[in-house]
Amino acid sequence: MSAKDSELTGVKEIARRANVSRGTVDRVIHNRTGVSQKTIDIVNAIIKELDYQPNIFARSLASKKQVVFAVLIPGVSLETNYWEEPLLGITEAGAEISPYGITLKKYLYDLNDKKSFLEQIALIDLSTVQGVLLAPSFIEESEHFVKKLESRKIPYVFINSDIQGHDSLSYFGPDLYKSGYLSAHLMKYLVKEGEEILIVNISKEIDNQHHLLRKEEGFRNYFIDKKLTNPILKIDIKQTDYAYVSKSIEDVLQRHHVAAVFVTNSRVSTVAKYLKRSGAANRLLIGFDYTKENLAYLKSGDIDFLICQKPREQGYKGLMALYQFVVHAKVGEKNNFMPIDIITSENCDFYIN
């Protein structure tokens, strides 16, 4: 239901309970004449009971000027459709708030290309923007952009990953450290003590992809905290095409007896593809995100577990938090961590991403 429809439903319910017309309720809300004091008292009592808050400010705003929100997130790529879900959530929220004069301008960058990120930032005219929703994929470049927003007092919300030490309005996404910690906890039950475990980071900008490194940190620290002796190997793969990933994995498996593999992002399907084709699919494999590619390998048994954290909800709630602050001056929670969902072949058909 849109914000506009929600408001109309509220007025309709108040009118029904007070046994008056919706026009009468509207006159009471806006302090217009032509309504008896008795009716005013009845309507106001029902408004209080329902905790109804009319969107007067938003409707006034819509009639006077447009508010522009810039959305800076990765686009869907041939390698992964992960970002399709946050964009769907953003689009849904945008449709709800558009009747109140809110315009979205979307700037989609290539997750593998820092230059693309900078090019999209350059297209944003900050003099016309009242708020920004962003996924800060590149640390140094994101920090530079965020400082510009802070200097102009433009509120911003992080989704999917955050940058600590900055004054964002809110963050909606996973607790990256605990995501890695949970993945290690899962793995503990399925590998024997002393067996080798391989962490795989796949990104052209690994050194700048802090969200991958924080997952890795959480994963490693679980084994340290539990005093487990499993050797943990690591490989950083800086080319994302299948040929390069498969060759990199093959080199490690030829030199080590790896029992389990932990992939720190949605590209786990690329690893699953190699393991299946090479006849090495008996190794435990854990990765992230409910994408079409990952789901296929999960159902075939080539991926054992997917860790998922409501990407569509991140996009929807992130944009709505920006709207509530800019339009209604409402400040929500600083950190809004998504649930850490463990998806298997048995429950994947019932999961709402």
In the chain, where the domains are located: 3-54, 62-170+311-336, 176-308
What does the pLDDT read at residue 59?
53
Is the backbone of residue 52 left (phi > 0), alpha (psi -120 to 50) or beta? beta
What does the pLDDT read at residue 132?
98
Mean pLDDT of 196-206: 90
What does the pLDDT read at residue 12?
78
Backbone angles phi, psi at 310, to 5 degrees: 50, 65
* In the predicted structure, residue 283 carries a pLDDT above the cut 70: yes
- Where does 3-54 sit in CATH, by number? 1.10.260.40
* In the predicted structure, residue 178 carries a pLDDT above the cut 80: yes
Nearest one of 316, 315, 305, 317 to 348, comparing CA atoms: 305
* In the predicted structure, residue 214 carries a pLDDT above the cut 70: yes
Mean pLDDT of 236-263: 95
Mean pLDDT of 156-179: 93
> What's domain 176-308's superfamily in CATH?
Response regulator (3.40.50.2300)
Could you report the per-residue pLDDT of 314-323, keeping only the tens digit for each?
A: 999 999 999 9
pTM for the structure as a whole: 0.80
Can you name the CATH fold of 62-170+311-336? Rossmann fold (3.40.50)
Nearest one of 177, 186, 174 to 343, comparing CA atoms: 186
* Cα–Cα distance measured from residue 97 to residue 3, given in angstroms and rounded to the nearest whole number: 6
* In the predicted structure, residue 58 carries a pLDDT above the cut 60: no
What does the pLDDT read at residue 54?
62
Mean pLDDT of 91-120: 92
Mean pLDDT of 5-18: 71
What does the pLDDT read at residue 217?
96
* In the predicted structure, residue 207 carries a pLDDT above the cut 90: no
* Cα–Cα distance measured from residue 321 to residue 159, given in angstroms and rounded to the nearest whole number: 11
Backbone angles phi, psi at 244, to 5 degrees: -70, -45
Burial (CB < 10 A; 0-12, 13-18, 19+), residue 146, is buried
Mean pLDDT of 339-353: 94
Same fold for the domain at 62-170+311-336 and the one at 176-308? yes
* Lowest-confidence region among 200-209, 234-243, 325-334: 200-209
* In the predicted structure, residue 120 carries a pLDDT above the cut 80: yes
242 neighbors 270 (Cβ within 8 angstroms) = yes
* In the predicted structure, residue 150 carries a pLDDT above the cut 90: yes
* Cα–Cα distance measured from residue 303 to residue 317, given in angstroms and rounded to the nearest whole number: 30
